[in-house]
Chain A
Amino acid sequence: MHETTQFLKTLLDHTQLNITLQRLAHQLIENHLNFKDTAIIGIQPRGVLLSDRIAQLVQHITKQKHIDYGKLDITFYRDDIHQGNDIHVPKNTDIEFSIEGRDVVLIDDVLHTGRTIRSAMDALIDFGRPRSVELLVLIDRRFSRELPIQPDYIGHTVDTIITQKVKVYWAEQDKKDEVVLID
């Protein structure tokens, strides 16, 4: 592994990121219209920052008073508990509605190996049987998948090698909206 991280390039700057978010929200609305049968679920911890924005945009554009929006922590469903020495401390799971028979849109910031999404689907099924599950990601690191998982909505696609990392910054937490590639 590299000793220091090295900045490679900006994938999305503030303006581009917000245009992309707008597009993703519109694509969701195109398929789900009024969100009556749909629930949005963000994956903890970083996917929630994206899903907060998407849920807000969808609500604003559709002028719905309420859409079902929850947060899912996948810590207890990970397949790498005994891989490293560090163990993850979970974040909150907050799903205050039934997902039984609903169309669920899972949201995460970066799709890489697909293992997080695999865990998320396991975790989700413990809350009920959704009619369908879709996946929305901001960044798709294609060709790096270890499981047969593909997103339905993609913000931006990048080709990366394993040592590189995609960092997504959000104004709410990181004081800027930006997506960068580092090594």
Chain B
Amino acid sequence: MSLSVKHLLGIKELQPGDIQTIFRTADNFKQVLQRPIKKVPTLRDTTVANVFFENSTRTRISFELAEKRLSADVVNFSASGSSVSKGETLIDTVNNILAMKVDMVVMRHSASGAPWFLANHIDASIINAGDGINEHPTQALLDAFSMREKLGELKGKRIAIIGDIMHSRVALSNIFCLKKLGAEVMVAGPPTLIPKYIQDLGVKVEYDVKKALQWCEVANVLRIQLERQNKPLFSTLREYAMFYGINRQMLDSLQKEITIMHPGPINRGVEINSDVADSKQSIILDQVENGVAIRMAVIYLLSGKRDLVE
């Protein structure tokens, strides 16, 4: 048993069986994380570089913890204060890191497609920790894993992804992942934040958030990515919060109890109110907890491919 891919670049390239294998492995790592000794010696001969060209708290700590819980050696790199500011190219930077005998690279980059580019030029396994507005595969896996924990197998389940679909790599990876698992997916938000032709991915589109909540069993609420919007796509944050933000009254007016998720970081009072984010319906912190187990599973499953690289 192993994955059909050598790198985890995007969910798009995974087989449904790969996702199930990752989940089953993560189940076991989650169990390890409940023990008094939350560490296994599995990757004591492996070194992983976390190469982050873009800011991150959660993802980076989660990856670093996952690597340490697997007993791998870890080196961290962030673009600020590095030779990148002296004009070094991406390949040179990564090859220099690999020359110090690093086996695996976890990379976040602001340019969409950067991990694919790198995969064509280096031998080590690459895990995409988010590239531009394209994919964020481990986030989608941990989201789906958390949904599966709450609802059971996702086949036929109704999931709504709400908010800034246009600029969100989480949205795209989530769509690929959920569709591969057989779930029904709806995207909802203001028309300016939903890409044209997104229906072609096999998702429903809804511009009324209330209707989307009524339809779904789980709502994955996304952050408004102001840093990626170079022209205004809605008037004010207050207006967005009024029409598309999720609050208690809205949830109480539904005839059912749905599960609320958010990949973080949260803009409280914009896309989601505190009385929703901190309620029992929310599994936001479970997502964070599951993130470590999912990342351990991905790193573990890709590490076996190392010997194919010669």
Query: Considering the chains assembled together, what is the distance between the CA atoms of A82 and B42 in angstroms?
Result: 10
Partner of A81, one of B21, B24, B37, B304: B304
Find chain A residues with CB under 8 A from B21 CB. Answer: 89
Query: Considering the chains assembled together, what is the distance between the CA atoms of A47 and B304 in angstroms?
Result: 24
Q: Is A101 an interface residue (CB 8 A)?
A: no
Q: Is A88 an interface residue (CB 8 A)?
A: yes
Find chain A residues with CB under 8 A from B1 CB. Answer: 86-89
B308, A85: Cβ atoms closer than 8 Å: yes
B303, A82: Cβ atoms closer than 8 Å: yes
Q: Is B152 an interface residue (CB 8 A)?
A: no
Find chain A residues with CB under 8 A from B24 CB. Answer: 89-90
Query: Considering the chains assembled together, what is the distance between the CA atoms of A151 and B70 in angstroms?
Result: 30
B303, A81: Cβ atoms closer than 8 Å: yes
Query: Considering the chains assembled together, what is the distance between the CA atoms of A108 and B307 in angstroms?
Result: 29
Partner of B42, one of A76, A83, A86, A91: A76
Find chain A residues with CB under 8 A from B305 CB. Answer: 85, 87
Tell me the nearest residue of chain A to B71, going by C-beta.
Answer: A76
Find chain B residues with CB under 8 A from A90 CB. Answer: 24-25, 28
B40, A76: Cβ atoms closer than 8 Å: yes
A93, B28: Cβ atoms closer than 8 Å: yes
Partner of B304, one of A85, A91, A92, A128: A85
A77, B25: Cβ atoms closer than 8 Å: no
Find chain B residues with CB under 8 A from A89 CB. Answer: 1, 21, 24-25
Q: Is A73 an interface residue (CB 8 A)?
A: yes
Bits for A57-97, please: 1 = Cβ < 8 Å to B, else 0: 00000000000000001011110011111111111110000
B105 to chain A, nearest CB (A): 17
Find chain A residues with CB under 8 A from B300 CB. Answer: 76, 87
| A-B pairs with lowest CB-CB distance, top 8 | A87-B304, A76-B40, A90-B28, A76-B42, A126-B37, A87-B2, A89-B1, A86-B2
Seen from chain A, the residues whose Cβ lies within 8 Å of a Cβ on chain B are: 73, 75-78, 81-93, 122, 126-128
Q: A86-B2, A87-B304 are in contact. List 17 more A-B contacts (CB 8 A).
A: A75-B28, A76-B300, A77-B42, A81-B43, A81-B45, A81-B303, A82-B45, A84-B304, A85-B308, A90-B24, A90-B25, A90-B28, A91-B28, A92-B28, A92-B31, A126-B39, A127-B36
**16 A–B contact pairs at CB < 8 A?**
A77-B42, A81-B42, A82-B45, A82-B304, A85-B307, A87-B1, A87-B2, A87-B304, A89-B1, A90-B25, A90-B28, A91-B28, A92-B27, A92-B28, A92-B31, A126-B37
